[in-house]
Chains A and B, each alone.
Chain A
Amino acid sequence: MIEHLPALMIAVPLFGAFVSPLFKKKQNIVAIWAILITAVTVGLSLLLMYQVRLNGVIVYVFGADKPTLVLPSGYKVPIRIMFEIDGIGAFMAISATLMSFVGALYSYSHVEGESGLEKYYALLLLLEVGILGMVLTGDLFNLFVFLEIAGIAGSALVGFRNYRGEASEAGIKYLIVSSVASLMVLFAVGILYGEYGNLNLAYISRQVSFNTLDMIAFGLLFASFAMKCGAVPMHYWVPDAYTEVPAGINPALLVSTYASLYALFRVSFTLFANISISLARVGWIMSVLGVLTMFIGVTMALVQKDVKRLMSYHAISQTGYMLLGVGVGLTVLHDPKALAEFGRTAMAGGIFHIINHIIYKSLLLMTAGALFYVTGTRNLNEMGGLARKMPITTLCFIVGAAAISGLPPFNGFASKFLIYESSYRLNPLLAVFAMVTSILTLASFVKVFASAFLGPPLEKFENVREVPKPMIVAMVILALLCILFGLFPDVVLDKLVYPAVDALINVAQYQSWGGLA
């Protein structure tokens, strides 16, 4: 079974998705089914990470015994669909499966009263399939296919509450933005295929000659993935989608966004890693996009009144930290001294921030979902005094807010600390912007805390009670992870983050499965 682990990562949730519609009349059973399937994928992804740490890069070939098999005519290029899993792929897979599981658990009560739940859970599992495919594949066309699966499933889920006009509008916007980005990705893949006659990432990364056509393909991939991960000024779809999607889907949708960030990193570090002239330029583009993203995101968040929209702008802002950390690493990738001194640490900060952000932002969006669940509104002006009625949600919110604001000892502090101390070495202004953004983030969450949870109890919320247990359990799991990742950051860095960083830096390892012309 172990040797087919990469295939199982896709097959299990895909099977779960296709079986879900069979439980049309049994809404509770379909929820339990989704929780079960996502729990199995968590186990599989942990096993996958263990295998990657034990044996290095895993190359899995569909329809053949080994990756080196070539056409009988002797055309010396790999011909099969392949999954190639290294540290960063396994890291992303754990993030995807964990968040799908927590999201399914939360959804059990959160969407209980909605109709069409068999479609809801089928789409959630398909979204998981799309994300996992994107982060595990070693093939450019497959990357496009899985990007499409994630985009279509995601947009259907954004518009799930189609009785709300805003949800349908957000779903269509997300669908069109995703389709345009995917189309450009396909165009870039076509250019590379036309030039090199192959779609395998490792193969093309060896052959790529950085001519004008290659650079056009790189630019298209870079811009498309940057839009899909919500980089400013292409972030406009993010608040629409994150606000309208049911809170149980927010964690998986967040990971789907970061699967595009992963694709951006994969393209920059693996496919085009050997461009020596302009790699520092690419790194600076990424870093500047990062600073813009974090600052504009947080200042927009500060003026929001809708609690989920406010948190969505923070999701944009936090993506800036990841772009900044990894951008700093990319800028000095071809300078071994600077890479050893601060580049690798900056990348570790950026990658560590991905999983930290996925955890605390999912937690915060779930607390926002809990507020909506009990009050029926997302407008902060209409809320107040809810801390007395919802003590556990309040505690979870405090943990999430402290983590996103970079307060010690929570997980957000650990990754931000790495980013501050390393980006400072490239240019002190980068670190200054990162710190100012953190202060504004804290200010913004103080506003949410003061207006929703503090203040005198309001008469209209007299009968409000704490949210149901499955929602509580999902939030508490994430709050505990915020604390644990913050108290033992070295363990997470050693076991998950540095293997991912080294996988990005060491492109030769990704290309090393051999047999190529």
Chain B
Amino acid sequence: MISQLITGAGYWSPLLWLAFLILFALIGYLIYSRGNPSYKKDTEQVKPYLSGNAEPAKEKIQVKASDIYWGFIEALKGYYKVLQAIHTGDLRDYILWYLGVGTIILFLLVGGA
């Protein structure tokens, strides 16, 4: 019996998925292993083209964490401004949020009792 996850709307079989993954990986490897006959190692052919600029040393190509998703964060600047403003790190604010949310929950529950 193959392991299956029944959701009510369908099912998921991880072992079957794994079997197909291995199969397709093998097919991919077979295609890859046939190779490209025009490929010549250590020639101009394999060097990256950077709009005519010299390739910088590999040690200098370090992408910093804060540069990753810069565009995404810039596009959502307004959202992040609000979000970072409420994350004050002030313990008094932590308790105020708890009291505020607690009051809303109490209002919703007592109002419906």
- Asked if A418 and B7 sit within 8 Å, CB to CB, the answer is yes
Number of A-B contacts (CB under 8 A): 164
Given contacts A216-B106, A381-B64, contact A299 B12 (CB under 8 A): no
Q: Flag whether A426 is at the interface (Cβ < 8 A).
A: no
- The dominant DSSP class at the A interface is helix
Given contacts A459-B59, A489-B5, contact A173 B109 (CB under 8 A): no
Q: Flag whether B54 is at the interface (Cβ < 8 A).
A: no
- Asked if B14 and A236 sit within 8 Å, CB to CB, the answer is no
Residue from B3, B76, B109 in contact with A219 in the complex, judged by beta carbons closer than 8 Å: B109
- Contacting residues of chain B (66-113) with chain A, CB-CB under 8 angstroms: 66, 68-69, 72-73, 76, 79-80, 83-84, 86-87, 89, 91, 93-95, 97-98, 101-102, 105-106, 108-110, 112-113
- Contacting residues of chain A (258-288) with chain B, CB-CB under 8 angstroms: 275, 277-278, 281-282, 285
Interface residues of A (CB under 8 A from B): 172-173, 176-177, 180-181, 184, 210-212, 214-216, 218-220, 222-224, 226-227, 233-234, 236-237, 240, 275, 277-278, 281-282, 285, 296, 299-300, 302-303, 305, 341-342, 345, 380-381, 383-384, 408-409, 414, 417-418, 421-422, 424-425, 443, 446-448, 450-452, 455-459, 486-491, 493
List of B residues within 8 angstroms of A418 by Cβ:
5, 7
Given contact pairs A234-B94, A299-B83, a sample of 14 additional A-B residue pairs in the complex whose CB atoms are under 8 Å apart: A173-B91, A177-B94, A219-B110, A277-B112, A278-B109, A282-B109, A302-B72, A380-B64, A417-B12, A422-B8, A450-B68, A451-B63, A451-B68, A487-B15
User: What are some 11 contacts across the A-B interface (CB < 8 A)?
Assistant: A180-B98, A215-B110, A219-B102, A219-B106, A227-B98, A233-B97, A240-B89, A345-B8, A446-B68, A447-B65, A490-B6
- Asked if A305 and B102 sit within 8 Å, CB to CB, the answer is no
Tally B residues with Cβ within 8 Å of A: 48
State the CA gap A448–B17 with chains docked (Å): 27
- Asked if B14 and A486 sit within 8 Å, CB to CB, the answer is yes
Q: Closest residue to A231 on the B side, CB-wise?
A: B101
Shortest C-beta distance, B84 to chain A (Å), equals 8
List of B residues within 8 angstroms of A226 by Cβ:
101, 105
State the CA gap A36–B73 with chains docked (Å): 47
State the CA gap A383–B62 with chains docked (Å): 9
State the CA gap A214–B94 with chains docked (Å): 26
Q: Flag whether B37 is at the interface (Cβ < 8 A).
A: no
Residue from A302, A421, A450, A486 in contact with B9 in the complex, judged by beta carbons closer than 8 Å: A421
Residue from A236, A281, A384, A457 in contact with B93 in the complex, judged by beta carbons closer than 8 Å: A236
- Asked if A234 and B98 sit within 8 Å, CB to CB, the answer is yes
Residue from B7, B59, B64, B106 in contact with A422 in the complex, judged by beta carbons closer than 8 Å: B7
State the CA gap A457–B61 with chains docked (Å): 10
List of A residues within 8 angstroms of B17 by Cβ:
408-409
List of A residues within 8 angstroms of B61 by Cβ:
455-456
- Asked if B102 and A220 sit within 8 Å, CB to CB, the answer is yes
List of B residues within 8 angstroms of A218 by Cβ:
109
State the CA gap A163–B89 with chains docked (Å): 20
State the CA gap A278–B113 with chains docked (Å): 7
Shortest C-beta distance, A411 to chain B (Å), equals 10
- Asked if B3 and A488 sit within 8 Å, CB to CB, the answer is yes
Given contacts A278-B109, A305-B65, A417-B7, contact A299 B79 (CB under 8 A): yes
List of B residues within 8 angstroms of A341 by Cβ:
8
List of B residues within 8 angstroms of A384 by Cβ:
62
List of B residues within 8 angstroms of A275 by Cβ:
113
